[in-house]
Amino acid sequence: MSKGTIVLAYSGGLDTSICIPLLKERYGYDRVITVVVNVGQRDEEISNATAKGKLLADKHYTIDAREKFVKNHIFPAIKANGSYEGYPMGTSLARPLIAQEVVKVAKKEGATAIAHGCTGKGNDQFRFDVIIRGAGLDVVAPIRELNLTRDWEIKYAKEHKIPVTVKSGKPWSIDENCWSRSIEGGKLEDPTYHPNEEIYLWTTAPKQALNKPEVITIQFIKGVPVSLNGKKIDGYQLIQKLNMLAGKHGIGRNDLIEDRVLGLKARENYEHPAATVLLTAHRDLESIVLSRQEIAFKRIVDDKWSELAYMGLISEPLYMALNAFIDKTQERVNGSVDLELFKGTVRVLGRKSPNALYSSDLVSFDSSSLDQCHAIGVSYYYGIQGRMLNQFTKKKK
Ligand code: ARG
């Protein structure tokens, strides 16, 4: 029985390309519509995927979601100091948005199912599935369901005249958007393997980076970056610019052992110059604006927010509640941070905020506007419980 139309979240790579004939031959769909969502991949990647979608599918869409990605996914991540085990989560933040855009096409085209090319080992399958099922559509995941191997896929692609760009000597998988570029798999699966420079594209090796440091200033309003060096700049442009600028100084590389949703540990390499700079600046600005209690509690909230974002659980009620808390704290996160970019490191040079809970007059050793004698009374009580306990134990001896 014919099953009508299916919409495929498409990247132009081998996995999603072989899904096109598989969805017809193995699953019985009559029409396959491919959708590429632009979340800041390189232009070349978008144009290749678009050309391949048009060539191989019955109908193709390329959707520009860059603005939405920055405003609705990256800005909240900055406010939450979003980091999962040290990874700023570019892929994790983009997947729900890609799924939402594909859902819109499916509804428009009257399709009842969406396909994706995720394997059964990674995190992306869950990030896609939860959004697709939440929209009342069925999920088809051929690579996961048919348990396919790479060699089989290459043979199948050749038989179906699908152009395959097997990169010999570069056996790893890459996923990129404007927030981070991830490199995993192949040789990198051996955690003792020392990757060389060829895996990096956005960053210069720190030791070969410019010999001259560069100083930049980033201004934030309500926890969101709004200007660079005194000039107002739109979020996407700022991220692109910082990726170039900080990338040139070798900033934002990491090599991690990451705990995936399934519990598998995976070796991941990342580069994310703009994310490193913006997260460093944002966290620093919070340190002068928020109270000690807010900072300590927000650390816990930020960690939980990052875990949910990593898992793609953006429709989880807790995620929305955490966002409400974070937004409340960010109302006062206004001000600017000066940073130095130099040989792989971003260093805060100074910060200022109209909402600072900081008074140089109160804290200064050179000022007498706060009478030091007030501290004497506090000191009598300081650590009183521990002192009492010590006295009791001494007496018992
Ligand atoms: N481990 C990261 C995540 O789950 C990145 C996965 C990206 N995929 C890739 N093919 N490189 O978000």
Nearest CA to ligand 1 atom 1: 268
Tens of pLDDT along the chain (397 residues) come to 679 999 999 999 999 999 999 999 999 999 999 999 999 999 999 999 999 999 999 999 999 999 999 999 999 999 999 999 999 999 999 999 999 999 999 999 999 999 999 999 999 999 999 999 999 999 999 999 998 888 899 999 999 999 887 665 557 899 999 999 999 999 999 999 999 999 999 999 999 999 999 999 999 999 999 999 999 999 999 999 999 999 999 999 999 999 999 999 999 999 999 999 999 999 999 999 999 999 999 999 999 999 999 999 999 999 999 999 999 999 999 999 999 999 999 999 999 999 999 999 899 888 888 889 999 999 999 999 999 999 999 888 7
- CA dist., res. 101 & res. 177, Å (int): 16
Record the tokens describing residue 115, joined without a space: 């396909």
Give me the pLDDT at residue 167, please: 62
| The ligand 1 atom nearest the CA atom of 89 | 12
Same structural domain for residues 271 and 294? yes
Instruction: Out of 141, 176, 211, pick the residue that ends a domain.
Output: 176
Same structural domain for residues 129 and 161? yes
Contact 41, 243 (CB under 8 A): no
Instruction: Give residue 203's domain range.
Output: 193-352
Nearest CA to ligand 1 atom 7: 175
Any ligand 1 atom below 6 A from CB of 174? yes
CATH code of the domain containing 64: 3.40.50.620
Same structural domain for residues 82 and 228? no
| The ligand 1 atom nearest the CA atom of 258 | 1
Same structural domain for residues 274 and 157? no
| The ligand 1 atom nearest the CA atom of 270 | 5
User: pTM here?
Assistant: 0.96
Q: For residue 220, which amino acid is it?
A: F
| The ligand 1 atom nearest the CA atom of 90 | 12
Q: How far is the CA of 39 from the centre of ligand 1 (A)?
A: 15
Same structural domain for residues 32 and 84? yes
Any ligand 1 atom below 6 A from CB of 91? yes
Same structural domain for residues 126 and 199? no
Any ligand 1 atom below 6 A from CB of 271? no
- CA dist., res. 118 & res. 116, Å (int): 6
Same structural domain for residues 64 and 201? no
Same structural domain for residues 160 and 198? no
Any ligand 1 atom below 6 A from CB of 50? no
- CA dist., res. 132 & res. 122, Å (int): 17
138 pairs with which residues across the strands? 113
**Does residue 49 lie within any of the structural domains?**
yes
**Does residue 357 lie within any of the structural domains?**
no
**Does residue 82 lie within any of the structural domains?**
yes
Instruction: Out of 176, 208, 234, pick the residue that ends a domain.
Output: 176
- CA dist., res. 57 & res. 12, Å (int): 11
**Does residue 340 lie within any of the structural domains?**
yes
Going by C-alpha positions, the residue among 208, 181, 195, 209 that lies closest to residue 273 is 181
CATH code of the domain containing 221: 3.90.1260.10
**Does residue 146 lie within any of the structural domains?**
yes
Any ligand 1 atom below 6 A from CB of 123? yes
Any ligand 1 atom below 6 A from CB of 302? no
- CA dist., res. 62 & res. 10, Å (int): 9
Overall number of domains in the chain: 3
Give me the pLDDT at residue 125, please: 98
Q: How far is the CA of 199 from the centre of ligand 1 (A)?
A: 14
Same structural domain for residues 89 and 170? yes
Any ligand 1 atom below 6 A from CB of 177? no
Same structural domain for residues 333 and 222? yes
- CA dist., res. 338 & res. 219, Å (int): 9
**Does residue 347 lie within any of the structural domains?**
yes
Q: How far is the CA of 91 from the centre of ligand 1 (A)?
A: 6
User: Best substitution site from 73, 123, 187 to test ligand 1's pocket, by max atoms within 8 Å of Cβ?
Assistant: 123
- CA dist., res. 163 & res. 157, Å (int): 7
**Does residue 252 lie within any of the structural domains?**
yes
**Does residue 358 lie within any of the structural domains?**
no
Same structural domain for residues 203 and 348? yes
Task: Give 369's DSSP letter.
Answer: S
Q: Which residues are annotated as catalytic? A: 15, 95, 124, 173
- CA dist., res. 234 & res. 177, Å (int): 17
Give me the pLDDT at residue 369, please: 85
Same structural domain for residues 143 and 11? yes
Q: How far is the CA of 60 from the centre of ligand 1 (A)?
A: 25
